[in-house]
Amino acid sequence: MGNSALKSHLETSQKTGVFQLTGKGLQEFPEELQRLTANLRTVDLSGNKIEVLPAAIGNFLQLKSLTLNSNRLTGLPSEIGKLKKLETLSLNGNQIQQLPPTLSQIKALRTLSLAGNQISEFPSGLGTLRQLDLLDLSRNKIQSVPAEVSELQAIEINLNQNQISVVSAEVSRCPRLKVLRLEENCLELSSIPVSILTESQVSLFSVEGNLFEVKKLRELEGYEKYMERFTATKKKFT
């Protein structure tokens, strides 16, 4: 991509606060964006070949949405924690293995999307994100859902297509959790905490494609209680 094209992109972004440059084969985060740290609210660099998000990302203090789906990122700089206004962070389809602890400082974050990465442990420290609505960790390599999950404020947690064989009963204590997706994992029926059915707020619990027939769920204590929530939610949206 020529300099003139980038220049016109930058001029437009200065006015709109939006910089979108997808599928252009970029190998690094455009240095020129540094000139717009005071203006940019939305950056989308999906479908490129970016391997590193520079520490300078911490200078974009007005950023509300950062999307780098389908790149080659293996991690994030700790400076990401400086983005106090960031509401959406979408990093699907990269090679990220773990998250920096500073991520827990992005208090405005509503959507954290990390589908299709190389994460092998359920990320810790996300309980401080009080605004978090959606946590998408599908298509990773997570093997268990730890007790710490109870601190999460998320309304939806997507863990489809991982390698999960253990789910802590503490998940039923998530205060706002309505949708829990655990499709295509390694769960036995005996690994399903009954408290999700009996005690939680969860009204959509997806477990297709595990090591048991879904209809077997009906045999678990609390299934009827869960179905009441499921049906009540369905009525609300029809």
Q: Reply yes or no on whether the pLDDT at 124 is more than 60.
A: yes
Contact 160, 206 (CB under 8 A): yes
CA dihedral for 209, 210, 216, 217, sign (positive or negative): negative
Domains of the chain are 1-235 (3.80.10.10)
Instruction: Give exposure, 43-66, as e/b (b: 16+ Cβ within 10 Å).
Output: bbbbbbebeebeeebbbbebbbbb
- Report the amino acid identity of residue 16: T
Contact 63, 86 (CB under 8 A): yes
User: In angstroms, rounded to a whole number, what is the distance separating the alpha carbons of residues 20 and 1?
Assistant: 14
Q: Reply yes or no on whether the pLDDT at 150 is more than 80.
A: yes
Query: Has this prediction a pTM greater than 0.85?
Result: yes
The residue assigned the tokens 């003139």 is 4
DSSP string, 33-82: GGGGTTT-SEEE-TTS------GGGGG-TT--EEE--SS------GGGGG
What is the C-alpha radius of gyration for the chain, rounded to an integer number of angstroms?
20
In this structure, the number of other CB atoms found within 10 A of the CB of residue 23 comes to: 10
pLDDT for residue 113: 98
Give me the percent of the chain exceeding a pLDDT of 90.
Answer: 93
Name the average pLDDT for the chain.
95
Q: Reply yes or no on whether the pLDDT at 83 is more than 70.
A: yes
pLDDT for residue 6: 77
Q: Is 89 helix (H, G, I), strand (E, B) or coil?
A: strand
* 2 pLDDT tier (thresholds 50, 70, 90): low
pLDDT, tens digit (0-9, with 9 covering 90-100), for 152-177: 999 999 999 999 999 999 999 999 99
